[in-house]
Amino acid sequence: MKKETICVQSGYKGGNGEARVLPIYQSTTYSYDSSEELAKLFDLTKEGHMYSRISNPTVECVEKKVAELESGVGAMMTSSGQSASLISVINITSSGENFICFSNLYGGTTNLFAVTLKKLGIEARFITYDMSDEEIEELIDEKTRLFFGETIANPSLEILDIERYAALAHRHGIPLIVDNTFATPFLCRPFEHGADIVVHSTSKYMDGHAEVVGGMIVDSGTFDWSGYPCLNEPDESYHGVIYTRNFGKAAYITKARTQLMRDLGSTPSPFSAFLLNNGLETLHLRMERHSSNALAVAKHLKEHEKVLWVSYPGLEDDSQHALAMKYLDNGMSSGVVSFGTVNGKEGATRFMDSLKLARICVHVADLRTCVLHPASTTHRQLSDEQLEKAGVKPEFIRFSTGIENIEDIIADIDQALERV
Ligand SMILES: *Cc1c(COP(=O)(O)O)cnc(C)c1O
């Protein structure tokens, strides 16, 4: 099936006389005729649901849909994007080991990696896009376990050269994990370019309605885990299961569920999975509209005398345009546009406060146009000089273009810019 059809049809298939729409299995547990059957589930020798902390039929249907959209062998939904990132890393790293990641990651991921994982003894080594392969390789040693980057970085909108970093990671026998939140599998499928694991915050475009926080981990099934004892040696918590031997291509994602979801319990509710599925059913339509509206907004801003600069990968003269054309379908670059107004921080705040249709939100990437001014919110404590160093200019506005009529969005921008 083509990806638009997968969005609509995949995952749940109702049989004769059954519900046409994905049912919500609001049940913690599942009943069985014999203890022996349940024992097989515990031994992982038979597939089935036993307890909703580990798996649930509603959640499973959505996992199947996302796995299919990404062309992976399996997926696991989590209660948030943060827990997807956490599990994706600690599934194959332990105390005393390290990994490579980019310094332009989402702020929440940066905190998780730089502060919380550090307390667990796992070291994140940060790199930037301007570093050469040789410079990066100096940071890789025998304890380096993975590479981690974002397809379209939030909020810098830099695009990951997936093929380059996948090749670099593979030369050192380690996988590339890609956070594909902003692109979604509709605009980019990182596995086609050599990535090994994909994670998502489904709270953004995949849900798309700003209704439910969630995350997803998808396994390509193509990485060779022979250098990873955690996947090749017996797991004592499962009477000696060896993930690569017992589960083949699905070793990584099976371990994530049966070991880490079991132990950490970052479980999504069946109702959240149902809402996510509703969002996914229109993902293809929304991403097209988000992208065309954002491109129109970016072009309009570029011509405006009150606007200093605009950054949007879909613009032909943008520094990221070549990578956008390579990795994003038809260069469609999702809905987020960054720009700066004249008059610095004050100009930006005035612009934001004057908007009528667009609302000020911490969220991005849903169907209602919203804006955020990092310098007066998420980076509020910093001085102008510190903001420059952090790459957050005082006039920087993150504009998340919704799917309303483009003329209304632009009219709102214009009346607000007049007040700058
Ligand atoms: C929001 C976001 C996250 C975190 O996801 P939550 O669902 O908020 O936990 C991770 N990565 C990116 C790129 C995000 O935008």
State mean pLDDT over 104-126.
Answer: 94
Q: Kindly provide the residue ranges of all beta strands, DSSP E only, lying in 303-390, ordered along the sequence.
A: 307-311, 336-341, 359-360, 370-372
Rg (CA), the chain: 22
List CB contacts of 331: < 8 A, sequence separation 6 or more.
Answer: 313, 314, 321, 324, 325
pLDDT at 177 over 80: yes
Tens digit of pLDDT for each residue in 155-167?
889 999 999 999 9
What is residue 383's predicted lDDT score, i.e. its pLDDT?
72
Q: Above 80 in pLDDT, residue 254?
A: yes
- Specify the residue with its C-alpha closest to ligand 1, atom 6: 81
Residue to mutate, 88, 109, 150, 362, ligand 1, most ligand atoms under 8 Å from C-beta:
109
Residue range 292-301: average pLDDT?
98
CB 244 within 8 A of CB 79: no
Q: How far is the CA of 276 from the centre of ligand 1 (A)?
A: 15
Q: Which ligand 1 atom lies nearest to the CA of residue 105? A: 13
Residues 287-305, mean pLDDT to the nearest whole number: 98
Site residues for ligand 1, CB cut-off 6 Å = 80-82, 106, 108-109, 150, 154, 179, 181-182, 201, 203-204, 213, 215
CA–centroid distance, residue 142 to ligand 1 (Å): 30
**Any bridge partners for residue 165, and if so which?**
none
Provide mean pLDDT across the span 189-217: 98
Average pLDDT over residues 39-49: 88
Burial 51-84 (b: 16+ CB within 10 A, else e): ebebbbbbbbbbbbbbbbbbbbbbbbbbbbbbbb
Q: How far apart are CA 120 and CA 94, in angstroms?
A: 8
Residue with CA closest to ligand 1 atom 7: 81
- For the CA of 154, the closest atom of ligand 1 is 13
Strands 197-201 and 215-219: antiparallel
d(CA 270, CA 293): 33
Residue-averaged pLDDT of the chain: 95
pLDDT for 261 equals 98
Structure tokens given for 275: 């809402």
389: pLDDT confidence band, cut at 50, 70 and 90? Answer: low
Residue 135, Cβ neighbours under 10 Å: how many?
11
Confidence at residue 202, expressed as pLDDT on a 0 to 100 scale: 98
Taking the CA of residue 202 as reference, the ligand 1 atom at the shortest distance is: 7
Backbone angles phi, psi at 144, to 5 degrees: -80, 125
Residue 387: pLDDT over 70: no
Q: Which of 86, 158, 201, 378 to mutate to test the pocket of ligand 1 (most atoms within 8 A of CB)?
A: 201
Which residues contact residue 118 at a Cβ distance below 8 angstroms, ignoring those fewer than 6 apart? 124
Strand residues in 89-129 grouped as ranges (E): 98-102, 123-127
Per-residue pLDDT, 124 = 97
Ligand 1 centre and the CA of 371: distance in Å?
16
Lowest mean pLDDT among 164-178, 334-348, 383-397: 383-397
Report how far ligand 1's centroid is from the alpha carbon of 183 (Å): 12
pTM value is 0.96
Whose Cα sits closest to atom 5 in ligand 1?
Answer: 81
User: Looking at ligand 1, which residue's alpha carbon is closest to its atom 1?
Assistant: 201
pLDDT for 390: 65
Q: Which of 154, 266, 276, 370 to mutate to test the pocket of ligand 1 (most atoms within 8 A of CB)?
A: 154
Q: For atom 8 of ligand 1, which residue has the closest CA?
A: 81
Separation of 196 CA from ligand 1 center, angstroms?
Answer: 19
Q: Which ligand 1 atom lies nearest to the CA of residue 82?
A: 9
